[in-house]
Structure 1
Amino acid sequence: MKKFADTVRRLLSIALNLFIVWAEPIALPMSWDWGKEQMFIFYTEDSNILSACICAMVAVGQLVCIFTGRELPRWLHTLKYIATCCLTMTFLTVVFVLGPMYEDGNGWYIMLCTSSMLYHHLLNPLAAIFSFVLLERTPRLPRSTVKWALLPTVLYGGIILWLNIQRVVDGPYPFMKVYDQSVQASVLWCIAILLMNYFYAWLLWKLNGGKKENA
Structure 2
Amino acid sequence: MSKTAMPPTPPGQASRPATSTPPAPTAVVGFRARRRSPAMMALGVALIVGGAMGGFLLYQETGERTPVLAVAKEVPVGDVIEASDLMEVSLSLDPAVKVFEADQRGEVEGKRAAVALVPGSVLAKEQVTDRELVKDGEQLVGIGLKASQLPATRLSPGDEVQIVFTPSEGEQAAGKNDANSPDAGPESVAARIVRVGAEQQTTGDRVVDVAVPAAQGARLAAQASTGDVALVVGSEGGS
Instruction: Determine if the TM-score, normalized by the shorter chain, exceeds 0.5.
Output: no
Rg (Cα) greater in structure: 2
**Normalised by the shorter chain, which TM-score bucket?**
under 0.3
Bigger share in strand: 2
Bigger share in helix: 1
Give the structure-1-normalised TM-score. Answer: 0.23
Give the structure-2-normalised TM-score. Answer: 0.22
